[in-house]
């Protein structure tokens, strides 16, 4: 079963047919952390500034941190943070109009988001941004019966639909690389067809990527790096009962199934959102799972022909998935307890490091429900974005900014 974190909820592979995978726990541990609280005023920028603004910033220190590294925890407001660039720009979604999520852009973690807009009558989300400030995402109806691929030439541009969506099909776009190459998927309304697709640029017709095999006819492309290497998946059915994380060297190459760790972990996959699960060197992250879905392990692949390396976790969070990897080899993801009722954002400084529960940097007594939080991406500056629930059940975003030598 694919781990799928869609819009403002945590879902399995698609919201249309599946229920919530991760159940919010009511536990809020009391952390022994020192912190300083300061108010960060929202600064209006761009098209709109009436969404939830950044609320509070905390500087925390804890013995569980890597040596000489601490984090500033910045709360971005409601919605979902999907991607952070090397410059610290953030894209995702926000609530600019009650009940209608729109794609959102944060110039940095201390600025209020601006509304990127959407197509008439639809909601929207932004999934990725490249160094040229081009943005991709998709528009969708409240019941997800309509989904259309979107492109923004810049944060100040109106969204346009990417070309080539077949009549009666839906589409989600997940990533755009520095050259403007785009990846995502087309799928049928009855979910019997799911194809990984590639756009050479925002004006070009899409190309269907080759399928792994007839045994695994369903798939998507979720990541593309500067070299044009593509990462996605291939599944035997909608729930990915049997699945493989899949690699394409380029848009015309034959796909390769990435190795599983072996033993009971015979299947592999990638996480959505997890739009930086392949870095510039071609290192990749995802997860492996058992045939009965009873256990998951975060994994790392050095190349498309390398063995899968299981990343270590800590404490009771024995299950895990990896969502992103930077060019520096830092990895982020999610740790789960044994029955998947609690989830925490995790950080691995390197593939050989023990995983760090990032909630140890959140202040004691904060509004966060620490057992309903996850990390999505990490950039080369070590800034980490994620999302989670407040104790009142509302969805919020966060950025963890590393502070060295304190």
Q: Are 296 and 260 in contact (CB under 8 A)?
A: no
Q: Is 34 left (phi over 0), alpha (psi -120 to 50) or beta?
A: beta
What pLDDT band is residue 70 in, cutting at 50, 70 and 90? confident
Under 8 Å CB-to-CB from 167, ≥6 apart: which residues?
none
DSSP state of 125: E
**CATH at residue 260:** 2.130.10.150
Domain that holds residue 334: 3-404
Using CA atoms, how far apart are residues 131 and 84, in angstroms rounded to an integer?
11
pTM for this predicted structure = 0.85
Rounded to the nearest 5 degrees, what angle is found at the Cα of 363, between the Cα atoms of 358 and 365? 125
Using CA atoms, how far apart are residues 351 and 330, in angstroms rounded to an integer?
8
Kindly tell me the burial class for residue 306, based on how many C-beta atoms sit within 10 Å of its own C-beta (0-12, 13-18, 19 or more).
middle
pLDDT at 77: 82
What pLDDT band is residue 67 in, cutting at 50, 70 and 90? low
Collapse the DSSP code of 360 into the 3-class scheme (helix H, G, I; strand E, B; otherwise coil) and give the result. helix
User: Mean pLDDT across the stretch 73-96?
Assistant: 92
What pLDDT band is residue 217 in, cutting at 50, 70 and 90? very high
Using CA atoms, how far apart are residues 185 and 143, in angstroms rounded to an integer?
19
> Worst-scoring range by mean pLDDT, 69-78, 103-112, 220-229?
69-78
- Counting the structural domains of the chain, the total is 1
Rounded alpha-carbon distances, angstroms, from residue 260 to 106, 202, 253, 290, 301? 37, 34, 21, 10, 10
The predicted-structure confidence for 309-321, as pLDDT tens digits, reads as follows 999 998 899 999 9
The predicted-structure confidence for 372-402, as pLDDT tens digits, reads as follows 999 999 999 999 999 999 999 998 999 999 9
The predicted-structure confidence for 117-140, as pLDDT tens digits, reads as follows 999 999 999 999 999 999 999 999
The predicted-structure confidence for 156-189, as pLDDT tens digits, reads as follows 999 999 999 999 999 999 999 999 999 999 999 9
Using CA atoms, how far apart are residues 283 and 285, in angstroms rounded to an integer?
7
Q: Is 393 left (phi over 0), alpha (psi -120 to 50) or beta?
A: left
What pLDDT band is residue 97 in, cutting at 50, 70 and 90? confident
């Amino acid at each position: 079963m694919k781990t799928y974190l869609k819009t403002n909820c945590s879902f399995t592979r698609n919201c249309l047919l599946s229920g919530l995978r991760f159940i919010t726990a009511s536990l809020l541990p009391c952390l022994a952390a020192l912190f300083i609280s300061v108010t960060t005023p929202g600064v209006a920028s761009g098209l709109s500034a009436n969404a939830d603004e950044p609320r509070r910033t905390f500087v925390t220190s804890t013995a569980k941190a890597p040596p000489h590294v601490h984090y500033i925890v910045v709360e971005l407001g409601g919605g979902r943070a999907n991607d952070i660039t090397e410059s610290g720009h953030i894209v995702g979604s926000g609530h600019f109009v009650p009940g209608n999520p729109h794609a959102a852009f944060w110039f940095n973690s201390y600025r209020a988001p601006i509304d990127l807009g959407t197509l008439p009558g639809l909601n929207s989300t932004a999934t990725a941004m490249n160094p040229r400030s081009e943005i991709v995402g998709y528009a969708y109806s409240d019941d997800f019966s309509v989904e259309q691929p979107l492109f923004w030439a810049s944060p100040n541009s109106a969204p346009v639909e990417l070309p080539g969506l077949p009549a009666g099909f839906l589409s989600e776009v997940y990533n755009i690389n520095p050259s403007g190459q785009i990846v995502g998927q087309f799928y049928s309304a009855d979910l019997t067809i799911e194809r990984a697709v590639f756009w050479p640029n925002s004006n070009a017709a899409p190309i269907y990527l080759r399928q792994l095999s007839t045994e695994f006819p369903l798939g998507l492309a979720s990541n593309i790096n500067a070299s044009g290497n593509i990462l996605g998946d291939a599944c035997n059915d909608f729930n990915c009962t049997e699945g493989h994380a899949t690699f394409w060297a380029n848009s015309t190459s034959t796909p390769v199934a990435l190795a599983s760790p072996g033993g009971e972990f015979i299947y592999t996959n990638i996480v959505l959102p997890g739009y930086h699960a392949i870095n510039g060197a071609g290192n990749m992250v995802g997860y492996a799972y058992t045939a009965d879905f009873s256990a998951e392990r975060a994994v790392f692949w050095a190349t498309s022909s390398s063995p899968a390396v299981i990343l270590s976790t800590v404490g009771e969070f024995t299950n895990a998935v990896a969502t992103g990897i930077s060019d520096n080899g830092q990895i982020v993801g999610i740790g789960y307890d044994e029955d998947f009722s609690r989830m925490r954002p995790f950080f691995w400084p390197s593939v050989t490091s023990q995983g760090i529960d990032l909630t140890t940097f959140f202040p004691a007594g904060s509004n966060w429900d620490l057992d309903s939080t996850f990390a999505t991406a990490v950039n080369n500056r070590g800034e980490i974005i994620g999302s989670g629930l407040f104790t009142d059940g509302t969805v919020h975003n966060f950025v963890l900014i590393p502070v060295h030598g304190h």
